[in-house]
Each structure stands twice: as structure tokens, then as C-alpha cells.
Structure 1
Amino acid sequence: MQEDTPIDEAAITLLKQLVRNGCVNDLTADSGGEAKSADTLEQFFSGTDVQVRRFEPHPNRVSIAFTIEGTDPEAEPLTLLGHTDVVPVDLPKWTRDPFAAEEEAGRIYGRGATDMLYITAAMAAATRDVARSGDRPKGTLTFVGCADEEARGGLGAGWLASHAGDAFSWKNCLSEEGGSHLPVADGSDALVVVVGEKGAAQRRLTIHGDAGHGSTPYGRELTVDLIAEVARRVCAIEPPVTSDELWEGYVRAFRFDEDTQRALIDGSSYSALGDLARYSHAMSHLTIAPTVMHAGGAINVLPSTAHIELDIRPLPGQTQESIDEMLRDALGDLAERVTIEHLITEDATVSPTEGPLYEAIVETFDEFFPGVPVVPTIAAGGSDLRFARRKGGVGYGFALHERQRTLGGVLDLLHSHDEYVEVADVRLTTLAYRSLIRRFLGV
């Protein structure tokens, strides 16, 4: 790329190449291949005076960090955590090549365009612009292209936090997602910033019944019947709505009438939120989703063991112990017969709605959308920011979208068929990152 390329144009060109690299993470160690995008990013930064570090905990699973050292060791640092892996595609359901990065009618199509390659490209372009400026920031600036985010970071940010925790600062971190708009009832505007995310409480529930030949089931305790009853009882669990300032502040931001607002805060109805109903329910409840059920193998054998796997997402403050207790209560007289096994377990994390980085985000939003209120939210899914929070830092989801891009619309694009990002949002996010860096680091 030419040195005089505007940073938003540079971000668009980089985004297209990252999409074309096709770093598909199918949750196995040998997938991903993020080395391709690490090479792309290293080439993108060529000719700049940045410190480059590559990390490869497994062949071709490469994370890469670009650091510009600050002039003041006491100044606040800033770390931008992008990820370069993407989820698989169901190719027959796409109407275009998911790895061609086609641009059409103001949109760039491709797997990962929204999740989160456009933000990763914006981070890289803004960081390179600082490097090319010739001025050093007061605090140290680092951009990291992380591998393996889609598999919860075991070969990416999670590995870095555990094995290379001093490679860069985790004190102030930005990542996905944020900067979309709420459809406020009175037609006014509100901008979203992500301050936390739910945790993980994955469980496998196993039960045993009678084995035998499939031709003679009479009088036997059928394991499939038992696991179906386990599933029914689990699906009947109705966790209570949370009562915290984040949830209530989110509801109030919509400016509904008093009755609608109360119904939302109480969790008795989500219909007023339209396409945000599912997300809003997840933001305000512990959620339990049965996702895997298994029993047997041969069609002529009555299985003696069956299990169901649950994707459980707790809110901040909800413990693994309380979740097991809730499951046992729901199972009732079957509880003694069911083995509850913990799979991936992680507590929810949240950062404060105050402090230097949060204030810089609010001020940056105000620069682009003057006077628009900022609404902190909790993400229903996970991101690499939880590793920063666990190491004592703060982490916020930050991007910026045009006025017509609502939170529900952006969420619907994540992992979708024919995924795309608006070119205007790539430009806006890139400029917003550059502005925030200038505001926070003085360069």
C-alpha cells in the first residue's frame, strides 16, 4: 500500500485480504491457519518502526503483536485485541463466495467481515498510522492479531495471557463489538458500548438405564426415555431476571412508556424490543440451551448410557455451585441418578462504567455523534476481553456504526449466511479508533 493511502482506505484493503485468507476455525487445533493473516499483517506494517512479536503455540496458529513504546512509563497504555480467525460456513446457503470479499452496493461480503475482521483491520490501520506519524505516544500502544478467538482463545488470547502475559499490557484493552445504535421509542438515538460478557457453565448430564437387545424392550427402563425426561426438566427451568443497573439502564435507554418499561425490567415481556428480544433476554438472565444429546450407537442395541450437553451462560455474580444446585433442584427425583460433569467453565466478567478508557470512549462517541447518550451493555457471547479483565485490566467492546445500524441488525450479521459489513462502518470505525488513540495516548 502507498504511504499516502488514507487510513480508512487502507483498512478496507486490509479487510478484504483478511477475508480472502479464510482462516476458518472449526474448533480443532489444526484448523484456523492464522499464520496467513499474521503474515498479511506483518507485511501491512513493513517499513514502520514497530516491535513485532509472533506467537505460535501450535503449528500455523499464530498470534502477532505490534507495539509502539510510549515515552512515559507512567502513562496509561492501550492494547487493541483483534482476532483473525472466522467460523465455518454452510456453503450451499451462501449466494456468493464467502472468501472472495466482494464489494457490492456499499457492502463487503465474506465470512468474518463483521465478526470481527473489519474491527481488526481498523485497529491495524489506526496503529500503523501512529507508527508512520513519527510521533511516539505517551503510553505504549499495542495491536494484537489474535488466533483462535472463536474457540474461546485456548491457542490465542487465552494462551497469551497464561504463557506470554508480559508481552504487552492488559491494563486497558479494546475489542469487539460496540458503537451500534438503539431503536429508541421516541426516535432519538443511543449508542452501545460493551462493558462485560457472560461466562460459561457448560455441563454434561449423564444417566444410565437398562441395556439389552433392541428386539425385546418390554419391561426395561429405557435410557432414551430417561434422558428425554432429563431434557424436559432442564428445559422447564426459568431463571429469574437480573436486577442490576446495567440491565435497568439499558431498558430505560429505549424510553418506552412506564408500563412497558416495568414489564421489561421485571422480565415479564420482551415483545416491545422486537429483534432485540432474544439478546435482551440473554442479557438479563442466566440462559440454558440444550445443544447436544447422545444415546446408543447400534440400532439393534438398547443403550445403557445417555447424556445431554448444556450451553449455560451465567451473568456476573452467578457461581458454578449455584448453577449445579439449580440443575439438581430441577431434576428432582432423578437428581441422584444424574452425573453432572463440568466442561468449559468461566465466570462472567465486567468492567466499570468509569475510568480513563471508558471516558475516552464516551468522548469519542460524542465527537462523531454529539449529544447522543452512551448505554453500557453485557455481551451474550464471549470475546478476548475477558482475559484482560481476569488479569486486572479493563476491557470494552468498541467500534462505530452509522445512525441507521441498530444493535439488533449488527447482531444478526454475526455468523450469518452472506455475512457482510457496510463500507461506511469500516471507515467510521477506523476513524473512531484513530481518534480514540489520539485522545487516550496523546498522538
Structure 2
Amino acid sequence: MTLYDDTLSLLQALIRNACVNDFVPDSGHEYRNADTLAEFFAGTDVKVERFEPHPGRVSIAFTVEGTDPTAEPLTLLGHTDVVPVDAAKWTVDPFGAEIIDGKIYGRGSVDMLFITATMAAVTRDIARRDRPRGTLTFAGLADEEARGGFGAKWIVENRPDAFSWKNCLSETGGSHLPVADGSDAVVVNVGEKGGAQRRLSIIGDAGHASTPYGKDFAVVKIAEVARRIAAIEPPVLGDDVWTGFVESFRFDPATQAALIDGSGDYAQFGSLAAYAHALSHTTFSQTVLHAGSAINVLPSHAYLEMDIRPTPGATQDGIDDLLRAALGDLASEVIIERLISEPATVSPAEGPLWDAIVDTYAELVPDAAVVPVSATGGSDLRFGRRLGGVGYGFALHARERDMASANRELHSHDEALHLEDLRLTVEAYERLVNRFVGQAQ
């Protein structure tokens, strides 16, 4: 079998294991994919280590030791959990891994099991040959979809030396930008936004709903809180990633300048308008609203929860300052509670691993510019960056899959991956990994 065939077979097995993360401790069941990966590597000369911080929540790492301790190591971070499905909205079995019209369907096929399977297959292929110069590790990580508490986060807090975090690859990258002049550009994720989840609570008068006169309504006040938060207009991000992203579209000079400074029309980005706005701003999404439990009782407490994604350089205190400023005269009545709070992380678009990425794309898509971008969501790469390493999202899609169409598959109904993109990603990883860790001299 070819490396591609091995990868496809493994991808189908990983999808069929249905390691669905419901964001509660006893979900996920990633032990199934860990067992499948252990079987996949059986008989190879690799160091295998399992991590199980909670029953069934298993991560597994396979390390091929290098011959040269001074050579750069490489770690491939692939997560093995997937998000839930609304089965009634699917037209195929979400966990059937069926191949239809050149695409493989299944939850996780794009996010990110096709990359995870590719990483495993390329690592095993190297393990079956002479040892590489640099140490290579593939880690199949649990719980990424719930921010890694039973996966990468647990490992860095409890076993940070289990494998190297110096040079890491993970999701996603490799899709294309719709450049204005028709030329090609391929993206690499060099960073990701942070997290600043908040719960905003407010107190009102309790009482019987039949006598509302003169009452201070918690529901009315929380609605006004939501209205004022929705009006927040944070400043545009002015870093090199945003500037380079805009410049890569090759707009006319006036359009480019206006978009860079935040005064332009984001509709210029077409299907990537929402992504461009999220890349360039701290975003405030109001996602949970709660008040009351009985229809005839005035609730004395109401709260609003928000998923806030800070740009690089934004601080948690700065987020709270923005909220208080937006609340105005209501600020003294609102309790701001911090939930998950994490800074944005970014790796430089330079250095040995970056150069290897650029050289690999130059071989496979020689006419494409390589454009650093940041993910608006999260990935396990942030943990490596916090330990001082670099991390990049790497894959390769066909030219027809622009960034918007690739992103649309994430967490979608009938999630599907073009097999052409699997072939390209396998070839890209094979070239990049062999280029970076090399073979023993």
C-alpha cells in the first residue's frame, strides 16, 4: 500500500471510532482512537507513551529518536476528538467515513482527523526506515475541542518533558486566498486569538409577577447590558499579520490603506469578510442568557455569558475596561466574572521550521505566495508557544478550496474532505518532515 492508502485507511478508522467530545469529563472516549493508533504503529521502533488524566480520555505519543542530539526536533500535534453532531441534519452517517464523489464524509474528516492521520502515517513511514537526524514525535491528543484540559493542557502542566515543544505543527493551513489579480496565495496559521470568556451578572427585585409596578426588573437590565455590549467597537489590530493579510489580496492602494487602518469596507474580502473582521479585532459574541425559572416569579438575578476572543497584545484588564466603558452608568451594577482567560499566541514567520514550510510549498505550489495568518479559534499549538516553542498550522488544499470554503467545513453538517486534499496534505507532510528532521548521515 502507498503512504496515501495507509493514511486514508487510518482516517476512516479514526472517524468510525466516533470520539465525540460533549465538553463533559466522561465524553470523548479518545481511548478508542489511541488504541487504533497504537495498533497502527505496532511493530515499529518507536517510543510509545499514553496519558490518561481521566478514565477514557487518552492521549498517546509516538517518538522516533534522532541520531543527532543537536538537530532540530519536530512534534506533530494531532487531536483525536471531534465535536457532536445533529444527526437529523446529516444526509449520510456522520461516523460512516463513506467515500462519495471524491470526498470522504464524517465528523472530524476536516477538523482535524485528516491531518492527524497524515501525521501518524508519515511518522510511521520514517520509523520504518533509518533513524532521522532530528527527533520526531507524533502526538494524538485528547480533548482539544474543549480547550485541552484532558489533553495538551494537562500534558504541559503535568508532563511537559514528555516530548519536545520546540517546533510544532498542527491544524490547519494550506488553503488559498482569492487574490484580486487572480494570482495564488496559500495561508499558514502562525498564531491564534486568545480567550476572555466573561459572565456579566445583574441583580433586580424579586416578587410575584402579578404585581410588577415599581419593580427593578433584572430581565430588562440584562437586556440593556446586552444592547450596550453589542455596540462595542474595538480598535483594529495593527500588527504585521493583519497588514500582510490585507496586502496579499493586492487591492488598489486606496482600498488597501483603508482596510489596514480599519476604515475600509470588509465586503472587499468577499466570502472572507467575517474572518477578516475577526482577525483584525477583538470580538465579543454574546452566547448565553439566563434569568428566572418560573413564569409567575420575577427573577432577582440574570446573567449574560460571552465568548470574547482577544487579538495579540490585548490584556484581560483591557477587556474589562472596554466592557465597563460600554456599560456606562450601568457599570456599577454589573458584576464581571472572568471564566476562561488566555492570551493570544503568535509565532514568528521566520526560523528553521518556517523556512522548511516555505520551501515545501515552493515545491508543490510554486506560484503561490505564502501568507501568515492567525486562527480566530483555538488549537493545541498555543501550549507549545507558551513553553517557548514555535507552532504552525500546516496542510495543503487544492487551489479550488479557498480559505472560506475550507473553513465552512469545520463543525458543519455533512462535513467532508476532498480526497485530492488528503493526497496533497500527505505529500506536503512527507516532504516537510523529511526535509526538517532528515535522515541519519
Q: Say yes or no: TM over 0.5.
A: yes
Question: Could you tell me whether the CA contact under 8 Å between 1:8 and 1:427 is conserved in 2?
Answer: yes
Equivalent residue letter for 2:115: I
TM-score, length of structure 2 as denominator length: 0.98
- Cα distance, 1:371 vs. partner? 3.5
Which one of the candidate residues 134, 137, 158 is aligned to 2:132? 137
Residue type of the partner of 1:432? A
SS in 2 for 1:345: strand
Choose from 143, 146, 151 the match for 1:156: 151
CA deviations on 1:386-410 (whole Å, 9 max, x unpaired) are 0000011000000011111111110
* 2:118 is the counterpart of 1:122: yes
Q: State which drifts further: 338-347 or 426-435.
A: 426-435
CA contact (8 A) 1:9 1:427 kept: no
Identity, % of aligned positions:
65
The 2-side partners of 1:44 and 1:256 are apart by: 48
What are the residue-to-residue correspondences of 1:41-440 with 2, within 5 Å? 41-133=37-129, 135-267=130-262, 268-440=264-436
Whole-Å separation in 2 of the counterparts to 1:246 and 1:390: 19
Deviation at 1:260, TM superposition (A): 2.2
Report SS of the residue matched to 1:374: strand
Distance in 1, matches of 2:335 and 2:428, equals 50
- The AA in structure 1 aligned to 2:58 is V
SS at match of 2:58: strand
The CA deviation at 1:421 is 0.5
Contact 2:184 2:367 in 1 (8 A): no
Q: Which runs of 5+ in 1 are unaligned?
A: none
Question: Are 1:9 and 2:19 an aligned pair?
Answer: no
Q: What is the count of residue pairs matched by the alignment?
A: 438
AA of the residue aligned to 1:326: L
Letter in 1 for 2:239: D
Q: Answer yes or no: is the 8 Å Cα contact 1:82–1:119 preserved in 2.
A: yes
Question: Structure 1-normalised TM-score?
Answer: 0.98
Partner Cα separation in structure 2 for residue 434 and residue 161 of structure 1: 27
Stretches of structure 2 lacking an aligned partner (at least 5 in a row): none
Deviation at 1:266, TM superposition (A): 2.5
Contact 2:205/2:218 (CA < 8 Å) preserved in 1? yes
In the alignment, residue 17 of structure 2 is paired with which amino acid?
N
CA distance in 2, matches of 1:215, 1:9: 69
Note the alpha carbon deviations across 1:156-186, whole angstroms, 9 max, x for none.
0000111111110000000000011111111
How far residue 64 of structure 1 moved from its aligned partner, in angstroms, is 0.2
CA distance in 1, matches of 2:88, 2:209: 37
TM-aligned CA deviation for residue 262 of structure 1: 2.4
Counterpart Cα distance in 1 of 2:366 and 2:115: 22
